[in-house]
Every structure is written in C-alpha cells, then in structure tokens.
Amino acid sequence: MSAESEDDKKAKEKRLSNRIKGRAGQAIKDVVSPLPLPQFDGPLISGINALIAAASESDDPYQFFELQPEDAWERLGVLSIPGERFAEWNQMRKMAFTGEYEQKLPFGKTVTRKLKRKGRDEMLANWISYTLYSAGLAPSEVGTIARYNMKKIMEDKTRR
C-alpha cells in the first residue's frame, strides 16, 4: 500500500467525520431552536460545546461547528450574487494572467500560491468560457463547470 492511498483514506475519514459532526450540530439546532436565526443558533452551539468541554475529561473533546461571522455581502442574500460572480471572474482572470491566487487558510491566514504553466493555460480557457457565461453568451452550465474546473486546477496544477 502506498503513502498516497493512506493519505486519501485519512482524508476520506476526516471528511466523513466532519460531515457527521455538521449534520449532528444541525439536528441539535433544529430540535432545540427550530427558528433558523443565527442570533439563536450561534450561542446555542457555543453553549453545547462549552457543556461538552466541561463534562469531558479529554484534552480534545468533541465539538460541533460554530457559526462563522458573515461579512456584509453574505447578509445581502440574493443581492450578493453579482458581487460574488465578479469576484470569481476576477480571481480566474488573475490566475490566468499572473498564475497566482490567494488561498485562505484556517484561522484567517492568507497564502499566495502559484500555478504550473499547464494550469495557467487551462485557466485561460476556463476564464474565457466564464467571461462568455457572465456576459450571457453561454448557458448557466458553463458557469458551473468553470467554477468546478477552477477548484480542480487549484488542487492539481499548483506548485508545491
């Protein structure tokens, strides 16, 4: 068995664990506070996490995901979509022409990454198709595929 398959297995287990943790937290919020209001949900999950930490004897007790603070764009709901699409378009443009993108890491740290030459070439074609989609000259599926391609290019074609 290779080291890569071990890493894949660990990543799969972690994703499954996080999925279970997220869904369990949602179920608790739905039962205790059926109103989908972040004003109630945030303190509720924080309180449950504090209760678990107090009752647990472990150094790393089981904790549910807490709400992340929203920025002004996210609070606008549907009205924020054009701004989000422009930000995606601009990120694709920067990746296609400079080969760089910024990746946000946990705890707010931002790191600049560079694409391989092949990744830049693929991103240029991706950016052109996304531009056509944004201008209304291509169907909505093109936008979905372009966003998916951008994620795959960032995963597979980044210099390590």
* CA distances from residue 52 to 24, 29, 45, 113, 131 in whole angstroms, order as listed: 14, 15, 10, 38, 49
Side chain identity, residue 29: K
**Residue 101 pairs with which residues in a beta bridge?**
113
pLDDT tens-digit map of 91-139:
999 999 999 998 887 777 888 899 988 989 999 999 999 999 999 999 9
Q: Which helix (H) or strand (E) holds 85?
A: helix 81-98
pTM: 0.55
Query: Cα torsion for 14, 18, 19, 22, to the nearest 10°?
Result: 180
Q: Is the pLDDT of residue 37 over 90?
A: no
Q: What is the pLDDT of residue 135?
A: 92
Quote the CA–CA distance of 64 and 56 in Å, as a whole number: 14
Q: What is the pLDDT of residues 44-62, one digit of tens each?
A: 777 777 777 777 777 766 7
The average confidence (pLDDT) of the chain is 81
